[in-house]
């Protein structure tokens, strides 16, 4: 049986419809994961849930122990991970409260423990990252969105910044020129670490705000929270539809 995990981001520290079966506090060779791993049932199917920023939400993007999170999921036998993440929208289709399933990544983050292959004793391995997200899992998400009647943007390039601050207008202008459609702070190294361990990974990106300079004035937390509430309700419906097919 394929084991699916959901890593919840800002606005998704819990899955309301998850029937909790057990909680496990795992230790890994890379330290402590963000939170307990919760095994539960969603639409009568087993799924493992992890709150990326901890529960309650206290760990900023640059302090997340991405290696411990992904290693812990591997230890639990997970084959597929959906990473739910709040993002800013850069290009025209990426409006607040909308959902995107990106297909490419540009990594602008720095100083993060970003690989399992940094031990002198391990053989060096260069994973192929041509397609950073699993095409199979992305296709399943697109079908699930259709079944749930939720409009999603089916492609897009996710630019991962270091955070925790939001960007300047000049940074977003540069990212747009680079080809980024979305900007977030947690997409990397999460996606690459999953690939290093042979786990299929896809992102459900929930647009919380227009990125810096894409609307008048500054970005407010109130606006982010309001859009995330709408977007995360869509994510919950989409995930329930997905479970039928996993």
Nearer to ligand HPA, 42 or 182 (CB): 182
Nearer to ligand HPA, 39 or 157 (CB): 157
By the rule CB under 6 A, 184 interacts with ligand HPA: yes
Q: How far is the CB of 138 from ligand HPA (least distance, A)?
A: 20
Q: How far is the CB of 164 from ligand HPA (least distance, A)?
A: 9
Q: What is the largest CA-CA distance in the chain?
A: 53
Nearer to ligand HPA, 185 or 235 (CB): 185
Q: Which of 212, 218, 91 is nearest to 161 (CA)?
A: 212
By the rule CB under 6 A, 167 interacts with ligand HPA: yes
Nearer to ligand HPA, 208 or 232 (CB): 208
The span from the CA of 155 to the CA of 157, in Å, is 7
Q: Are 37 and 69 in contact (CB under 8 A)?
A: no
Q: How far is the CB of 108 from ligand HPA (least distance, A)?
A: 10
By the rule CB under 6 A, 185 interacts with ligand HPA: yes
Phi (first) and psi of residue 205, to 5 degrees: -100, 125
Residue 125: both structure tokens together? 């391995």
Residue number with the smallest Cβ distance to ligand HPA: 88
Binding segment for ligand HPA (CB under 6 A), chosen from 84-92, 129-137, 143-151, 189-197, is 84-92
Cα–Cα separations (whole angstroms), residue 182 to 25, 26, 109, 132: 33, 32, 14, 15
Q: Are 96 and 234 in contact (CB under 8 A)?
A: no
Binding mask 191-210 for ligand HPA (x = CB under 6 A): -----------------xx-
Nearer to ligand HPA, 118 or 178 (CB): 178
Phi (first) and psi of residue 70, to 5 degrees: -75, -40
By the rule CB under 6 A, 96 interacts with ligand HPA: no
Cα–Cα separations (whole angstroms), residue 220 to 8, 58, 184, 212, 215: 22, 19, 16, 11, 12
- Residues near ligand HPA (CB under 6 A) are 86-88, 161, 166-167, 183-185, 208-209, 211
């Amino acid at each position: 049986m394929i084991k699916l995990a959901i890593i919840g981001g800002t606005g998704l520290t819990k899955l309301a419809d998850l029937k909790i079966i057990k909680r496990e506090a795992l230790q890994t060779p890379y330290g402590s994961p963000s939170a307990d791993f919760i095994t539960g049932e969603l639409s009568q199917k087993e799924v493992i849930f992890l709150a990326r920023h901890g529960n309650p939400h206290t760990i900023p993007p640059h302090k997340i122990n991405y290696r411990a999170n992904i290693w812990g999921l591997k230890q639990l036998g997970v084959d597929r991970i959906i990473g739910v993440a709040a993002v800013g929208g850069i290009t025209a289709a990426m409006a607040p409260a909308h959902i995107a399933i990106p297909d490419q990544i540009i990594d602008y983050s720095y100083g993060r423990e970003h690989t399992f292959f940094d031990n002198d004793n391990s053989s060096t391995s260069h994973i192929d990252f041509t397609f950073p997200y699993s095409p199979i899992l992305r296709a399943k998400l697109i079908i699930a969105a259709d079944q749930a009647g939720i409009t999603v943007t089916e492609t897009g390039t996710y630019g991962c910044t270091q955070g925790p601050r939001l960007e300047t207008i000049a940074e977003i202008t540069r990212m747009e020129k680079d080809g980024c459609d979305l900007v977030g702070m947690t997409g990397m190294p999460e996606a690459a670490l999953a690939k290093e361990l042979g786990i299929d990974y896809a992102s459900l990106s929930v647009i919380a705000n227009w990125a810096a300079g894409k609307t008048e004035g500054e970005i407010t937390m109130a606006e982010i929270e309001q859009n995330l509430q709408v977007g995360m309700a869509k994510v919950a419906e989409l995930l329930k539809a997905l479970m039928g097919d996993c």
